[in-house]
Amino acid sequence: MNAAIRGCVRAGLKAGFEIDGIMRGYAGLLKEEIIPLNHRSVSNIISHGGTILKTARSKEFATPSGKEAAVKILLKHNIDALIVIGGDGSYRGAAELWQKFDYPVIGLPGTIDNDLNGTDQTIGCHTAVNTALDAIDKIRDTAHSMERVFIVEVMGNKSGYIAVEVALGAGAEDVIVPGRKFDYERMCRDIKEGNKKGKISWIIVVAEGAGHAHEIANTITTMTGLETRFVVLGHIQRGGTPTGQDRIMATRLGAAAIDLIQQGMFGKAVGVLQDEINVIDIKDATHKEFRHLDDFCHLIKLLT
């Protein structure tokens, strides 16, 4: 997100705009935590994970009165347009500001789950996958040395994107994702048969919304008699040095948001499709379906 903030600020200043930053998202907006941003404010942040503006959830903003108060604060501070960097919740809030209050908004896709429409990838998803892959590569060494089954839980409450990408990239033996029925008996049968043939280690990736790693590990131990360990990667996937792909995409999207503001195009979300900037209505940008999920899961099994 820092690369996106930098892209917005640098492009906005070049266009002759004054740029303010709102600390802690909608929660900070309602508390009027608004600060000026300039070239120096965003110096040397492109290589840093997270966001210099911080982030927070806001129950108050989710209410109609909260959104109305937010618009009044924006107008009070003479803010002519709002660029929202976030996921589907942030987008839904921004869409309501545009639809119900006619307040100018632009959305940038900032979520590691890659679950927004109108873009092939979202800001942060590439870095999150690489971070998880790095961890699993290390776990694989232990699994092979100690001849054990390992369950690795990655983020993805409603989305299986990270789990599938990580499982495929890590050469995992199986993947468990939300919204897809999983055959535990078949998996345990495969593990036992593989063990008889001399296969000494297994890596199984599970998205957090599809099951709990410790419960799956217990199930496998009970059904196979083989020692099984689990690792929950958790918030390690949300930090770290962003990849070059994430930095470049975020910078391009920040500049594209400023272009839309200059053109007077609001209520839009900006993304990248086939390496080209893509613009859609922000109300249509939530809930992307990962269409190739079954194909990817089949490929993982095919290559095991």
Any idea which residue has 């939530």 for tokens?
286
Percent of the chain having pLDDT more than 70? 95
Q: Are residues 115 and 132 in the same domain?
A: no
Q: Are residues 14 and 56 in the same domain?
A: yes
Q: Are residues 114 and 224 in the same domain?
A: no
- SS3 (DSSP) at 150: strand
According to the model, what pLDDT value does residue 288 have?
74
* DSSP-assigned letter for residue 106: E
- SS3 (DSSP) at 155: coil
Whether the predicted pLDDT of 180 surpasses 90 = no
Residue 223 falls inside a structural domain: yes
Whether the predicted pLDDT of 194 surpasses 60 = yes
Residue 44 CA, chain-centre distance (Å), reads 23
Any idea which residue has 């078949």 for tokens?
186
According to the model, what pLDDT value does residue 304 have?
56
Whether the predicted pLDDT of 159 surpasses 60 = yes
CA distance 139 to 297: 21
Q: Are residues 21 and 103 in the same domain?
A: yes
Residue 65 falls inside a structural domain: yes
According to the model, what pLDDT value does residue 287 have?
73
**Tens digits of per-residue pLDDT, 6-15?**
999 999 999 9
Q: Are residues 200 and 273 in the same domain?
A: no
What distances in angstroms separate CA 23 from CA 52, 57, 144, one per listed residue? 8, 12, 46
Residue 291 falls inside a structural domain: no
Q: Report the predicted TM-score, pTM, of the whole model to 2 decimal places.
A: 0.91
Whether the predicted pLDDT of 157 surpasses 90 = no
Number of domains in the chain: 2
Percent of the chain having pLDDT more than 90? 85
- Given 113, 174, 190, 246, which residue is catalytic? 113
294 tagged catalytic: no
Whether the predicted pLDDT of 105 surpasses 80 = yes
CATH number at residue 49: 3.40.50.450
According to the model, what pLDDT value does residue 200 have?
85
Residue 42 falls inside a structural domain: yes
Structural domain boundaries enclosing 267: 2-124+242-284
**What average pLDDT score do residues 206-215 get?**
94
The answer for residues whose C-beta is within 8 angstroms of residue 141's C-beta and 6 or more apart is none
